[in-house]
Chain A
Amino acid sequence: MKLAYWMYAGPAHIGTLRIASSFKNVHAIMHAPLGDDYFNVMRSMLERDRNFTPVTASIVDRHVLARGSQEKVINNIARKDKEEKPDLVILTPTCTSSILQEDLSNFVQRASLETESDVILADVNHYRVNELQASDRTLEQIVTFYIDKARKKKTLDLRKTIKPSVNIIGVLSLGFHHHHDLVDLKRLFNDLDIEINQIIPENASVSELSKLPKAWFNFVPYREAGLSTAEFLSKEFNMPFVNITPMGLLNIKSAVQRIQAILLQLNCHRNYDDYIDLQTKYVSQAAWFSRSIDCQNLTGKTAIVFGDSTHAAAMTKILVKEMGIHVLWSGTYCINDQKWFRSEVQELCEKIVITDDHNIIGDMIAKTEPNAIFGTQMERHIGKRLNIPCGVISSPVHIQNFPLSYKPFLGYEGTNQIADLIYNSFTLGMEDHLLDLFGGHDTTEFLTDTLSSGSCVQWSSEALKELTKIPGFVRGKVKRNTEKFASANNYNIISLEVMYEAKEKVSN
């Protein structure tokens, strides 16, 4: 047993449902107790979906416990087949059905005899994989199913498109800014004069999946979902794939160069160098922005990064290499992907944190006191308590991270968005300067709004008053440094003198 009240990645069935509900005309039936259909609320609330989420439950209740589901699952599948006429029904196991150990695959076989729609059982184990792994697995499973089906019916179309083309794999519902990213990815491939063969699973039709091999190569924007599918297609049809996330100028450049190399292998000579240069300098404002004098104030500022492996790795790279910000540590909760994550960021920061325990992250933030945090909603709340600004860069997120306006994280427009996010997260340059000069505008006496209090050193009233004059965003740090200094030197009371002495002797 584990004591927990917050988790970064959800349970496995959420991943399966995200894939199922992303496709067009695919219906998921959960084998679950009453109340487990909370996914529908998230779709309806977070994404403000106008349609009913195509997910229903085949309810596991007392009777099912006593006698087994028997015909119930099969009837529910058959019923949905008639009511909604989906192309595919995915029977989705949950934690409950995992331990009931009913033969769900038998139900699927029997049901598919009666139904017009295809029926498959999502092959995910609740106790072994999380939401992200399950989404990756389910997408691969669906693609494999339809490739096999086409192969049997001999309708598999392996002829490549005439012009270079790509499949974009892994754009999902409830994904962090996925819909905005997709717009910018389309623009990118349009600019590169590459046709988009298919985008899966977002709004895709399963009947079209047999045409996936027509593309020249595959593109996987996010590591969390799509890699398995790309690997499967690579193995089966020798389709190359690019899995460099085009987030940040350097990553976009690498991704485009990789695409160029792949096209070259396929005897298509393209040179994107001028395109990259033009976009970097004039379409994206991020490079120029970093160079502009206002951003000098960001020099030496510190940040920490935490999120899924895709976004945390890319963000770390942007902060360090594109904005010149000092990243104290960078981490991910994608424990299964830590090898890749470590290799990506080890040159960029002093420390790498791999954990899915938010307490560890909270304590680390309190201890390292960055100027800004780039993390998930959890880190935003930690930041609120510690009075450290936070830019949200990764799931898990709230409704506010499903913005109405166009806010991609990928592609050249994404670089602009990210630059804004970073810049706005730090205190603005001139404001920063003036606060220093005039002792700040925040003179409230909240001095214990930090996680790590509990020092036994007393402050004299004079010193305390002086402390209030220090600008809010560094006050906690000054306070703790002074306290550390005082206890190290056996001062019981921090007077003005001790405070000044600490300032002189403690280096930041």
Chain B
Amino acid sequence: MQTSIHNNTTFECETGNYHTFCPISCVSWLYQKIEDSFFLVIGTKTCGYFLQNAMGVMIFAEPRYAMAELEEGDISAQLNDYEELKRLCLQIKKDRQPGVIFWIGTCTTEIIKMDLEGIAPKLEADINIPIIVARANGLDYAFTQGEDTVLAAMAHRCPTGNSKQLTAETDSTKPNQLIIFGSLPDPVVKQLSYELKKQNINVKGWLPSARYSELPTIEAGDYVIGVNPFLSRTATTLMRRKKTKLISAPFPIGPDGTHAWINKICSIFNIIPEGLNERENKIWESLEEYIQLIRGKSVFFMGDNLLEISLARFLIKCGMIVYEIGIPYMDKRYQKAELELLVKTCNDMNIKMPKIVEKPDNYNQLDRIKDLQPDLVITGMAHANPLEARGINTKWSVEFTFAQIHGFTNSKDILELITRPLRRNDGLKHISNNIYITHDAKN
């Protein structure tokens, strides 16, 4: 186990033996977000089986995604990758007429070194549909990082306007402009844009937009900001390739996070935010009935979707005690402001700073959970039922990625999710005690 100290925050790194979703799962929310897209996952039956089972009923709604299932001939290069992909993409073009096709590279395309980035521009010219390649594979990434790889690839496609040299004039003609990156459901996009508009900040565009054809123009010198903690590649791409200026802020999760997010943006544009404190306080007031249920209770994040730091920070602000923040990958630069807010929140609430465990080891974590007996464990579905059977309340972490949790408006939804197991299990006390393991269970 490696330990490092960073601003009196303890980071640990374990074995990386943890359960999470494969990053190709990002197609399930991105195809819904980008309405004219088609996602082609180039992989094996294993990838297909995961998508089919993880996405449940969505699979039956004629989704705009499919597998390009690799067969033995593809692996041994008896078949020509270009010809095979062309055949499939023409079929997709004929059946669905998408505005853009995303190729999602998988572990297999990595290992056999299929040159997707090389083939795509050629085929794009051939069939006349933009093809974007994202390598969202389990060799390199976890769960939500899949979206990061897709958005980073999309960033390259954002138009650059007239590619004029940036001057002070262009800045002044379009004041307080901002590009936000991160895929959020439409209502949340509207809510956040509205919050910013109230502060006289204009959102020039979102990456991604609802349609591929509406990707925002990104010019050198533009300000960009992320809405989600797992978007570090996208941020890097926007900074290095698009020469934009990244605003480092906590993420707009929870009223505290949202306040800090808006505050930071305002400070960049030299705006003194109006009514933000009142707005935040109102939201806290409305959360009080939920907070009563969790104040003083303890929570353990096993770690699988990279939202953990922001959620932990919010829950500490709600009065919870966080034992451990497991997280697949920790980008200390991209999450810098969020980490600082976490430290500050711990100080404000006068509780111990939780340890942050990168690449956790689920087996060891289960041991720690057994010792600590937290009031709530936020975990993946592989561990939820076995933990419940051992009398530990759990909340599936996946739900946080699919629920609307951003901005002031949705703070209640986070607590609705967090308190659900507590409210439910409270109601079941009369049946029996809450241990349901079978007699031959080992632990």
- Interfacial residues, chain A to chain B (CB-CB below 8 A): 1-7, 10-11, 13-14, 24, 32-38, 40-42, 44-45, 48-53, 56-57, 59-62, 65, 76, 83-84, 94-96, 99-100, 126-128, 130, 378, 381, 398
Contact = CB atoms under 8 A, between A and B. Distances in A.
Query: Looking at B19, B141, B366, B437, which has the most chain A CB atoms within 10 Å of its CB?
Result: B19
A398 B22 CA distance: 21
B67 interface: yes
Contacts of B139: 33-34, 60-62, 65
A95 B54 CA distance: 19
B21 A96 contact: no
Contacts of A10: 45, 49
Contacts of B74: 1
Nearest to B364: A83
A53 B382 contact: yes
Contacts of B137: 33
Contact of B110 (A4, A11, A65): A65
A62 B112 CA distance: 13
A38 B49 contact: yes
B255 interface: no
B138 A34 contact: yes
Contact of A61 (B16, B108, B386, B440): B16
Interface stretch (B84-92, B162-170, B209-217, B266-274): B84-92
A300 B234 CA distance: 62
B111 A50 contact: no
Contacts of A127: 71-72, 75
Interface stretch (B57-65, B171-179, B200-208, B291-299): B57-65
21 contacts: A1-B68, A1-B87, A2-B71, A3-B88, A5-B59, A11-B44, A24-B440, A32-B138, A33-B107, A34-B18, A34-B22, A35-B142, A41-B54, A45-B381, A49-B386, A60-B139, A65-B139, A76-B17, A96-B46, A96-B108, A100-B111
B385 A48 contact: yes
A41 B69 contact: no
Nearest to B67: A4
Interface of B: 16-23, 42, 44-46, 48-54, 56, 59-60, 63, 65-72, 74-75, 79, 84-85, 87-88, 91-92, 107-108, 110-112, 137-143, 363, 366, 380-386, 389, 436-438, 440-442
Contact of B45 (A11, A24, A45, A57): A11
B49 A50 contact: no
Nearest to A60: B139
Given A7-B52, A62-B139, A2 B68 contact: yes
A315 B67 CA distance: 31
A59 B60 CA distance: 31
Given A6-B59, A99-B111, A381-B60, A50 B437 contact: yes
B16 A34 contact: yes
A100 B75 CA distance: 11
The 5 closest A-B pairs by CB, nearest first: A35-B22, A33-B138, A40-B382, A50-B389, A95-B44
Contacts of B79: 1
A8 to B, nearest CB: 10
Given A44-B381, A61-B140, A11 B88 contact: no
B49 A11 contact: yes
A96 B107 contact: yes
A44 B385 contact: yes
A50 B385 contact: yes
Contacts of A126: 44-46
B107 A1 contact: no
Contacts of B21: 35, 38
Given A50-B386, A50-B437, A50-B441, A95 B88 contact: no
B20 A35 contact: yes
Contacts of A37: 19, 382
Given A24-B440, A83-B363, A51 B84 contact: no
A436 B70 CA distance: 51
B138 A36 contact: yes
A99 B112 contact: yes
Given A33-B138, A50-B385, A38 B50 contact: yes
A24 B440 CA distance: 10
B63 A5 contact: yes
A41 B380 contact: yes
B71 A1 contact: yes
B436 A50 contact: yes
Contact of B386 (A52, A94, A95): A52
B115 to A, nearest CB: 15
Nearest to B74: A1
A63 to B, nearest CB: 10
Nearest to A5: B66
A51 B66 contact: no
Given A34-B16, A99-B108, A3 B67 contact: yes
A381 B56 CA distance: 12
Contact of A36 (B22, B59, B69, B142): B22
Nearest to A38: B50
A33 B381 CA distance: 18
Contact of A3 (B16, B59, B68, B112): B68
A387 B381 CA distance: 33
Contact of B49 (A7, A40, A53, A83): A7
Nearest to A47: B385
A79 B363 CA distance: 11
Contacts of A24: 440
Contacts of B60: 378, 381
A76 B69 CA distance: 30
Contacts of A100: 111
Query: Looking at A4, A40, A42, A51, which has the most chain B CB atoms within 10 Å of its CB?
Result: A51
A126 B45 CA distance: 9
Contact of A44 (B50, B141, B366, B384): B384
Given A34-B16, A61-B16, A95-B45, A52 B383 contact: yes
A14 B442 CA distance: 24
B385 A4 contact: no
B87 to A, nearest CB: 8
A220 B438 CA distance: 28
A130 B45 CA distance: 9
Contact of A1 (B22, B85, B142): B85
A73 B46 CA distance: 20
Contacts of B442: 51, 84
B222 to A, nearest CB: 33
Nearest to A385: B60
A1 B114 CA distance: 13
Given A36-B22, A52-B366, A7 B48 contact: yes
Query: Looking at B23, B49, B75, B384, which has the most chain A CB atoms within 10 Å of its CB?
Result: B49
Contacts of B20: 34-35
A65 B19 contact: no
A35 B108 CA distance: 14
Nearest to B47: A95
B59 to A, nearest CB: 6
Given A3-B66, A7-B52, A33-B138, 12 more contacts: A1-B69, A1-B88, A2-B67, A5-B48, A10-B45, A11-B49, A33-B139, A40-B382, A41-B381, A44-B383, A51-B442, A61-B139
